[in-house]
Structure 1
């Protein structure tokens, strides 16, 4: 579990790989506790998720089944925010360009 990282995968891809890995460990008798699942899932996210990780690791730590949908919501909110920023940047630069052309 320590080597599994989100990298450029989507949250759904990462969580799917993580779940498969936990299921494989369970199949050979190495059951991963709920607390460990939460910890290792969060550890593999990377620095871009640090605010989320910090919040989730505050006591009481939520169950794994609660963390996954929260993580999916966090990613969706970040994706929407980044799209909005990019659109604002493009609109701002277009206006600057138009003003230069007129003036």
Structure 2
């Protein structure tokens, strides 16, 4: 079940950010899916999805040098402010500040 979930997340994380979508798509109850992901990763299905989105956001910010607004669009967020709140909640820092720190180090 986890391998199917992981493949589905890789294919759709830019459009779908909620674990419920993946559970429905794979034919499992959300709780069943989350328990299976928890067993393999030690994290909930939602946390796994958040981690994947953050990883891609960091890649886009650091390597492609996209703005927060462009990242928001690329990652399926309705606007830049929603993306900024999501990123800050997940990382503890605003996307622009993270990008500035990363570029300064490189």
Q: Give me the TM-score of the superposition, normalised by structure 1.
A: 0.36
TM-score by length of 2: 0.36
Which structure's CA Rg is the greater one?
A: 1
